[in-house]
Amino acid sequence: MTRDELKTYLDSNYSDKIRPLDTGRYDLIYEINAENLFSFAKAIAEDENLKFDYICNIGGSDTGENLEAVYSVASVSKKLRLDFKVILPYENPEIESVQKVWKGANWHEREMWELFGINIKNHNDLKCFLLPEDWNQGHPMRKDWDAPDFVRFPEL
């Protein structure tokens, strides 16, 4: 399936869940509403024509206007790639976990929760792994994060 065929297929079969964006230079990128995330992920993983069976990456982003969760998925057998993103508000950002669809989503989702403050509903192990367990100084990857003054050790 070519890029154009994939676009046509997605637009005709999933237009109720996704909106194409013009920013994808090589691979297609779509925007999806948070409430459609899990059902869309499950559908494209189970769709016999797509079989998106591999999560390449999930990354958080702070655009200065909102937060984003950006997903890159692939179909190994069909040799396809697809990117999609969920745009979230700064206040109480929340998405559904997709680790029931792609087990590899676990650490990516934890990273978004820990560094961006995006709550991941139904995640089975949402705990710190990059920051100290007792971290309470905000979310370091947000643009509005104010780094605390750390204690400087005297030179020897």
74-113 confidence digits (pLDDT tens): 999 999 999 999 999 999 999 999 999 999 999 999 999 9
Q: What is the pTM of this model?
A: 0.89
Residues in the chain, total: 156
pLDDT tens for residues 14-48?
999 999 998 767 778 999 999 999 999 999 999 99
Q: Is the pLDDT of residue 148 over 80?
A: no
In the CATH hierarchy, which top-level class contains the domain 3-121?
A: alpha beta
Give the whole-angstrom CA distance, residue 42 versus residue 68.
20
Decide: helix, strand or coil at residue 129: coil
Confidence (pLDDT) at 153? 55
Domains of the chain, residue spans: 3-121
